[in-house]
Chains A and B, each alone.
Chain A
Amino acid sequence: MDLNEIQASIFINALPAVGPARFHSLLQVFKSAKETVAAGPDAWRELPSFGETTVNQIRLEWDTARRCAEEDLELIQKENVRVLLWSSDNYPRLLRELSDAPPIIYVRGSEPMFDPPAVALVGSRKCSYYGEKVARRLSADLAEAGISTVSGFARGIDSHVHDETLVHGGRTWAVLGSGLSVLYPSENKRLAERIEASGALISEFPMKTTPFPANFPRRNRIIAGLSQGTVVIEGQIKSGALITARLAADAGREVYAVPGPITSALSAGPHYLLHMGAKMVTNVDDILEEIPGLADVSHQGSGGAPGENNPGLTEEENRLLLFLGDVPVNKDVLALKIKKDPRDLAAVLLEMELRGLVRLLPGGAIVRK
């Protein structure tokens, strides 16, 4: 095979039996991907991490991987994807520091600029309204402060982070658990286009890789690796968000956690991290403080708790808002608490919803906007 360095890297990356660790040991011995492929699998046998069975496995995969690599090369052309090699200069500096940094990443989007500081915001796919609100508030404030956000393109918190960063003119990186030709979840197609306009979609997987569950923990190390710190917004004890936090800690990056209501299962993850010594985040300054070179950036984060009385509202509306918070309250419960007839309350709530004071959630619950 006559391949250039990029083609050779894509090819090796397409071999399922060669993960990042083996890839790196190959590079160490053969100095380049090109030389590695030229030497062929029989020469790889000598390496400590390759046994007889592994090499046999690789031989079986050889042809499939070649076809996959050829297909990738075509897709890369067609879909405007650039391939960054670990060995090259344009590879993200922070990511390179990881011991198991991906030897090759696929990037689609604007000119990759990984040098400005970036912070990962991660959390549950099924986030609560509170989680969404926190994700959006922090993303907005980070964008205003000129910090990029990194997240995993999933539903829930991830999508809110990407979306809100873009809304505030920030730059955001989305790391996929699938190949770049396979957008998952598919309803985020439009979001992907918006991300590419200023940031980029990133994946270490061959273009047509499907979102296999085992891909996601691997993806998480890239999320952690690209960022100076990782903020966990909501997540259960066993969740991808906590895996990301652990990987961030392993890589020596800052780990932050946002406290939540102790009654919610989604707060268990962040609270566990807080117990373990993660930095508590109540506003964006808590994040900025820990980022070197940014301590002097004076930034006024959005307010925390809502004020007591808003003068622009009627007494009744203020009274209602007092009962409402970021945890949804059911209309029926509200009616009983403030002892108001449902037909009158319905009218008041709709009025307030139209003025953007409250929001009606599916299931008939109300939250403060």
Chain B
Amino acid sequence: MLSRVYSAAVNGIDGYPVTVEVDYRPGLPSFSMVGLPDAGVRESKDRVISAIKNSGYHFPAQRITVNLAPGHIKKEGPSFDLAMAIGILGAADVIAQDNFGDCAFLGELGLNGDLRPVRGVLPCTMGLKKKQVKKLVLPWKNAKEAAIVEGVDVYPVHSLEDAVKFLIGENHDSPFIIDRKTVFQQSRAYTVDFSDVKGQLFAKRAVEVAAAGGHNILLLGPPGSGKTLLARRLPTILPDMEFEEALETTKIHSVAGYLRDSDSLMATRPFRSPHHQVSDVALIGGGSNPRPGEVSLAHRGVLFLDEFSEFGRNVLEGLRQPLEDRFVTVARIANSVKYPADFLLVAAANPCPCGYLGSEMRPCVCPASHIQKYRAKISGPLLDRIDLHIEVPSLMIDEITEEGMGGESSSQIRLRVTAARERQRRRLQPTGLFTNSQMNVRQIKSFCALDPGGKALIKQAIKKLGLSARAYDRILRVSRTIADLAGEEAITSAHLSEAIGYRVLDRRPAEGDLAPA
């Protein structure tokens, strides 16, 4: 006796249908599984047997073979439990096969037959839709996530028994439906807002520029000056997510198992802040069963690296590829997967080893030579990928008057950012780029023309402030964004001046800042 049931699995961040075939033959009782199951999938056997027995069904003492097709992709995880159990009951004629021919099943079984949620439900559902599977039976906690996909009817159940009753028509359930538009709208709200940041006018402005042009930014400031506060609010001023973007983000988080039960869609831009002891695999993604790393979890959002100078050198070097390509490829011999990783990098560091250089709170105790060494350390990796570096001062509270403290809300700033992005998109359309930060040297030349006054200014700045040569292109790129924010097509001296101010690490230390050399 043979039965065949649909389920699904994830490869990279995309789901694909898996056919679970169950065959019975007379002989000594046994349960074998083929189709490249990993150790985790093999454990399903015991759960499935117990769940069937404990749900009150007969488990046939015969030779059972379970096949997971396609057979060339490695299967992992417990999400085939339900499909196997249904397959076995189908082969044993507990359920007629006609009842589940157009149905797919996802879910992990408990020994008592209860159903537990699994990860990767959204991509699985999308994969099943492609296969034209019409119905999906899954655990209740995964229902909201799956219901986002249009065209697949979602039937959430609590247990194996529920599932069987649904299939034989004892429970006349209607599909679980959510209003996608409402869900999308509702999940767009952020819990933090830019108006929470007191003072820090210059830093706020720089963060706005970073958001508008998609520029990576480095914040230098003493402990407690508000670097994290600012970074955390950067996602809130990025343009609102499109539905398709939200779907993509949700897929990544679903695969990684980070989606909360209450969420069906992640419509807010993600903010990821891995600790500085993060391993390169955890940051970039990988593993023997590949998983997306922090860079992919930050896709379409912000990756915040606090204590930038403390990150391992190899870890930061690993960021180069995703910063350049905006995706990560995890290559394995059997199969290589691609994770999207289009994020805005926000790095934060102390201005000197003790942290208090330039602070009004307490004096810095670092010798000049240590400061130079420290600066060289942060300048080393990745600085050529960071367009803005600014200082976030720590201010004595009584110095700041109440007026002008709160400032604009995120939504006000977001309007300007969105408008600036739109200008960029239109200008860059022929090149296939979206933001100013993506322009290469040639594109900078054609899109960031300077008038003679501007040329003279930047020349003088490079000479007087000792700006390094690599600063030049970055200044132009950023001034393009500043002009876009102002809604102007020409880059003026004022735009340029502001952009030059965002290159603190490129300045030659002025005589006197450090003891004369």
Contacts and interface: CB of A to CB of B under 8 A. Distances in A.
A186 B201 CA distance: 39
A281 interface: no
B494 A347 contact: yes
Contacts of A350: 461, 497-498, 500-501
A179 interface: no
B395 A330 contact: yes
A38 to B, nearest CB: 46
Interface string A324-338: 000000111101100
A185 B391 contact: no
A91 to B, nearest CB: 30
A188 B515 contact: yes
A361 interface: yes
A332 B226 CA distance: 14
Interface string A153-193: 00110011011000000000000000000000111101100
B493 A330 contact: no
A190 B515 CA distance: 11
Given A332-B393, A333-B399, A346-B205, 17 more contacts: A156-B515, A159-B515, A159-B516, A163-B516, A187-B367, A187-B369, A190-B517, A191-B516, A335-B202, A336-B199, A343-B482, A343-B498, A347-B495, A354-B457, A354-B461, A362-B351, A364-B393
B358 A365 contact: yes
> Which of A191, A333, A335 is packed against the most chain B CB atoms within 10 Å?
A333
B364 interface: yes
Interface in B88-115: none
Interface string B484-509: 00000000011101101100000000
A126 B514 CA distance: 11
Interface in A352-369: 353-354, 359, 361-365
B415 interface: no
A351 interface: yes
21 contacts: A155-B368, A185-B368, A185-B369, A187-B369, A188-B515, A330-B399, A332-B395, A332-B400, A335-B201, A336-B400, A336-B404, A342-B204, A346-B202, A354-B457, A354-B464, A354-B465, A361-B358, A363-B358, A363-B359, A363-B391, A365-B393
Given A155-B367, A188-B515, A347-B493, A363 B202 contact: no
A72 interface: no
A132 interface: yes
A308 interface: no
Nearest to B501: A346
Nearest to A191: B516
B516 to A, nearest CB: 4
Contacts of B515: 155-156, 159, 185, 187-188, 191
Q: Which 7 A-B pairs have the closest CB atoms?
A: A363-B358, A347-B497, A362-B358, A163-B516, A350-B497, A342-B201, A347-B494
B170 interface: no
A336 B460 CA distance: 29
B346 to A, nearest CB: 18
Contacts of B202: 331-332, 335, 342, 346, 364
B242 interface: no
Contacts of B493: 347
Contacts of A351: 497
Interface in A238-277: none
Contacts of A365: 358, 393
A316 interface: no
Contacts of B363: 126
Interface in A272-328: none
Contacts of B199: 332, 336
Interface in B438-479: 457, 460-461, 464-465
Q: How large is the interface on B (under 10, 10 to 19, 20 to 34, 35 or more residues)?
A: 35 or more
B189 interface: no
Contacts, number: 118
A362 B357 contact: yes
Contact of A363 (B357, B403, B460, B482): B357
Contacts of B498: 343, 346-347, 350
B401 interface: yes
A302 to B, nearest CB: 17
A224 B359 CA distance: 33
Interface string B349-378: 001000001111001110111000000000
Nearest to B208: A343
Nearest to B460: A354
A159 B369 CA distance: 14
Main SS class of interface, A: helix
Contact of A359 (B358, B497, B510): B510
Interface in A118-161: 126, 129, 132, 136, 155-156, 159-160
A152 B23 CA distance: 92
A336 B401 CA distance: 8
A342 B400 contact: no
A349 interface: yes
B381 to A, nearest CB: 22
B414 to A, nearest CB: 17
Contacts of A362: 351, 357-358, 391, 513
Contacts of B514: 187
Contact of A364 (B364, B391, B512): B391
B200 interface: yes
Contacts of A185: 367-369, 515
Nearest to B225: A363
B488 to A, nearest CB: 13
A365 B393 CA distance: 8
A344 interface: yes
Contacts of B516: 159-160, 162-163, 188, 190-191
A332 B461 contact: no
A4 to B, nearest CB: 39
Nearest to A190: B517
Contacts of B364: 126
B322 to A, nearest CB: 31
A136 B511 CA distance: 12
A332 to B, nearest CB: 5
A342 B207 CA distance: 13
A163 to B, nearest CB: 4
A191 B511 CA distance: 13
> Which of A132, A159, A160, A363 is packed against the most chain B CB atoms within 10 Å?
A363
A343 B207 CA distance: 12
Interface in B198-250: 199-202, 204-205, 222
Contacts of B400: 332-333, 336
Contacts of A363: 222, 351, 357-360, 391, 393
B368 A187 contact: yes
A106 B479 CA distance: 57
Nearest to B366: A126
B368 A349 contact: no
A321 B16 CA distance: 68
A167 B375 CA distance: 28
A33 B512 CA distance: 45
Nearest to A136: B512
A126 B200 CA distance: 26
Interface in B17-51: none
> Which of A159, A162, A191, A342 is packed against the most chain B CB atoms within 10 Å?
A342
A353 B498 CA distance: 12
A196 to B, nearest CB: 15
> Which of A191, A331, A332, A359 is packed against the most chain B CB atoms within 10 Å?
A332
Contacts of B399: 330, 333
A104 B464 CA distance: 46
A201 to B, nearest CB: 15
A62 B399 CA distance: 62
Contacts of B204: 342
Nearest to B351: A362
A155 B368 CA distance: 8
